[in-house]
Amino acid sequence: MTDERPYSPGLEGVIAAETALGYVDGEKGRLLYRGYRIGDLVEHGTYPAVANLLWTGDWEPEHRMATGEIPDGVLTTLQALPKTAKPMDALRTAVSAWGATQALTYPPTPEQARALTAFSPSALAAFARLRAGQEPVASDPSLDLVPGFLYQLTGTKPDAGTARALDAYFVVGAEHGLNASTFTARVIVSTRSDLASSVAGAIGALKGPLHGGAPSEVVEQLHQVGSVERAEQWVKETLDKGERLMGFGHRVYRAYDPRAAALRKVAQSMDKKPEWLDLAIKVEDVALRVLAERHPERALKTNVEYYAAAVLQGVGLTPDLFPATFALARHAGWTAHVIEQSADNRLIRPDARYTGPQERDLPA
């Protein structure tokens, strides 16, 4: 009962799929969507245009997409959830309920992907308002998806700078290779299941703290720093205690995370930067200098979580909404991978090495 085939815990280093969607180059700090640099996509596009690029392969920078309506049955489901439910649980439940109302067919299509990606921001916004004792806000078809999401959260149309900053976050969060949640989505659709089931499973994978990250910890860290004047002292004291600086270092990237670079550029270009973003930009410069002095042998550069936290806090989202908002952004990538998997499908079914007892008889 020996098995000499190689085993890679966590499938690390195993090529489990081929994709034309996203390319992550950790050594050089590059992220490409269908060959296009992430910085260029943030600068010249919007989330709906980037989502359409991932779904179809066509770059149409004028492509628009508003948030969608919530079916009555889904709204009833959201209203039945306890106000203490986590936003990620509410979003996962809403996607599952939405799928039950749609009679989705296989294989999944870009039209299905658009419908789900438009629906989910409305659902998350509705839950956020319901738990606060407020009525949901209907979708405004005149607004693009990201400003529409903010409008449905707050009841007020956002200013252009705020919408632009969050849209940039959605763009950089849209796709990132065969990560755990994307792999989950591909496994589910490989059984010829439907798009909503795949995305609901992906949300469940993203909910885990080892995958979704912890930008809320960056928020707490910046609260502790408090001001630019305290930054250097706080950074050095934190490192002296052997504690990590949240938002720096990455499992894949050995260079500056290109997603963080794109978000910082957008933040710096805002006419009226929220105080939170301004503090984050200045504290980052101090942290990078001190880290380089302390650890010249290690590539501890800014990762996307640092600016994700700064942008999400800066546009007024509460920290418990951060993971679910990340999930909204990742809808484009998840659904594009689901479409790609189904186009040339083979059931994903790896083997496991048996390590239990040898064959034996039941005791007398």
pLDDT in tens, the chain (364 residues): 678 888 888 888 889 999 999 999 988 889 999 999 999 999 999 999 999 999 999 999 999 999 999 999 999 999 999 999 999 999 999 999 999 999 999 999 999 999 999 999 999 999 999 999 999 999 999 999 999 999 999 999 999 999 999 999 999 999 999 999 999 999 999 999 999 999 999 999 999 987 876 677 888 888 899 888 899 999 999 999 998 888 887 767 767 888 988 988 888 887 777 777 788 888 899 999 998 898 888 778 888 888 888 888 888 899 899 999 999 999 999 999 999 999 999 999 999 999 999 999 999 8
Rg (CA), the chain: 22
Let me know if 305 is a catalytic residue. yes
pLDDT, residue 220, reads: 85
pLDDT, residue 313, reads: 85
Tokens of residue 196, six digits: 């909503």
pLDDT, residue 126, reads: 98
Q: Which of 331, 305, 329 is nearest to 319 (CA)?
A: 305
pLDDT, residue 100, reads: 97
Tokens of residue 36, six digits: 């296009």
Tokens of residue 242, six digits: 């052997």
Q: Which amino acid is at 165?
A: A
pLDDT, residue 214, reads: 61
pLDDT, residue 278, reads: 80
Helix residue ranges, H only, the chain: 38-44, 47-56, 72-80, 87-102, 110-131, 145-154, 160-172, 180-190, 195-206, 209-212, 215-225, 228-240, 258-269, 275-294, 304-314, 322-343
The SS3 call for residue 320 is helix
pLDDT, residue 1, reads: 64
> Is-contact 51 112, C-beta < 8 A?
no
The SS3 call for residue 323 is helix
Chain length of the chain: 364
Other CB atoms within a 10 A radius of the CB of residue 62 amount to 8
Query: 């439907």: which residue's tokens?
Result: 194
- Quote the CATH superfamily of domain 215-314: Cytochrome P450-Terp, domain 2 (1.10.230.10)
Q: Which of 266, 295, 92 is nearest to 167 (CA)?
A: 266
N-terminal to C-terminal alpha carbon distance within the chain: 24
Let me know if 331 is a catalytic residue. no
Q: State the catalytic residue, choosing from 63, 176, 250, 337.
A: 250
CA dihedral 281, 322, 318, 75 (to 10 degrees): 150
Contacts for 48 with CB less than 8 Å, ≥ 6 apart: 63, 64, 65, 144, 145
Q: How far apart are CA 34 and CA 22, in angstroms?
A: 6
Q: How far apart are CA 212 and CA 181, in angstroms?
A: 9
Phi-psi region of 175 (alpha: psi -120 to 50; beta: other; left: phi over 0): beta
Which long-range contacts does 219-226 make (Cβ < 8 Å, 24+ apart)? 219/309, 219/313, 219/319, 220/246, 221/245, 221/246, 221/247, 222/276, 222/279, 222/280, 222/283, 222/309, 222/310, 222/313, 225/279, 225/283
pLDDT, residue 307, reads: 85
pLDDT, residue 343, reads: 97
Q: State the catalytic residue, choosing from 176, 305, 331, 340.
A: 305
| Topology at the third CATH level for domain 67-212+338-343 | Citrate Synthase; domain 1 (1.10.580)
Q: How far apart are CA 136 and CA 162, in angstroms?
A: 21
CA dihedral 259, 262, 263, 268 (to 10 degrees): 160
Tokens of residue 237, six digits: 């004291």
Q: Which residues pair with 154 in a beta bridge?
A: none
Contacts for 254 with CB less than 8 Å, ≥ 6 apart: 26, 27, 29, 299, 301
| Inter-axis angle of helices 160-172 and 322-343, nearest 10 | 50
pLDDT, residue 38, reads: 96
Q: Which residues pair with 37 in a beta bridge?
A: 32
| Domain assignments of the chain as residue spans, ordered by start | 67-212+338-343, 215-314
- What one-character DSSP code corresponds to residue 364? -
